[in-house]
Amino acid sequence: MTYCLAIRVDTGLVFCSDSRTHGGIDNVGTYSKMHRFGWSDQRHFCLLSAGNLATTQSVLHRLRQDMQRDQRISLRTVPSLDLAADYVGSIRAEVQQRHARRHSEPTDFTASFLLGGQIGSAPPGLRLIYPQGNAIHESPEHPFLQMGEVQYGKPLLDMVTSQWSLEAAARCALVSMDTTLQSNLSVGPPVELLILTGDRLDGGRHLRWGSEHLFLRELRSQWHQGLAAAIGRLPPFPWEESSLNREKTYKNAR
């Protein structure tokens, strides 16, 4: 299992992913699921991967090969993010079918990809490419997309609006990831974060941490403290309210 997410706010894009890969109960590995492609001042993409490792690696190999060979269609030449998603989706379908034909044993070769980025002066955006080949995009009402073990981190992302700053969105993404790390052992570090500022096309800020890194530990600690404080400020039950009023009256009388 894996967990990858991306957020779009008015000022840019945030991507976050774990790095744990399972090839079986006794075969747990660490592979980056965040793949960056960029050409300064022209375009940049981030591709997050989830699913069968052989399929995702073959898709990435083909993407890089098409760029190196200056193919007519590649991430370097597609004119829009929608066509980039179609291109990635078509390669995924070819690879997935090829792997399936080679194996007689029933094996799940499906993979999903979360693609985001910006081409020239076009606005940045996100596309979630499903194993079936279709893709969806984010919206102002739903500014985030997720893959993998999505249920644990989603409630936090529901707070995000497109007016948030990139840094606030990035912190929320990390808390969402950390919550998932604590809830499901099949999701694991290192954790990667990429922040792409809109219209800069400079490759953004890329960060990578182990689960016990001081920054993540401090983030987790302050989040838990904030939650505890918020619970204490929630409305009291009716019997608590009466008790509090009696206590207040008694203190005033004294």
Domain 3-210, CATH among 3.60.20.10, 3.30.565.10, 3.30.2130.10, 3.40.720.10: 3.60.20.10
The per-residue pLDDT for 114 is 97
Instruction: Determine the pLDDT at residue 238.
Output: 83
What CA–CA distances, in Å, run from 231 to 158, 178, 224?
19, 20, 11
Proportion of the chain above pLDDT 70, given as a percent: 89
The confidence score (pLDDT) of residue 134 equals 83
pLDDT at position 90? 92
Region 84-108 average pLDDT: 81
* Predicted confidence (pLDDT) per residue in 190-236, tens digit: 999 999 999 888 889 999 998 778 999 999 999 999 999 999 888 88
Better-scored residue on pLDDT, 96 or 125? 125
Model pTM? Answer: 0.88
Q: Phi then psi for 231, rounded to 5 degrees?
A: -60, -40
Average pLDDT over residues 139-160: 93
pLDDT score, position 232: 87
CA distances from 164 to 29, 56, 100, 198, 222 (A): 35, 32, 43, 14, 20
Expressed in angstroms, the distance from the first to the final Cα of the chain is 62
Sequence length of the chain is 254
What are the sequence ranges of the domains in the chain? 3-210
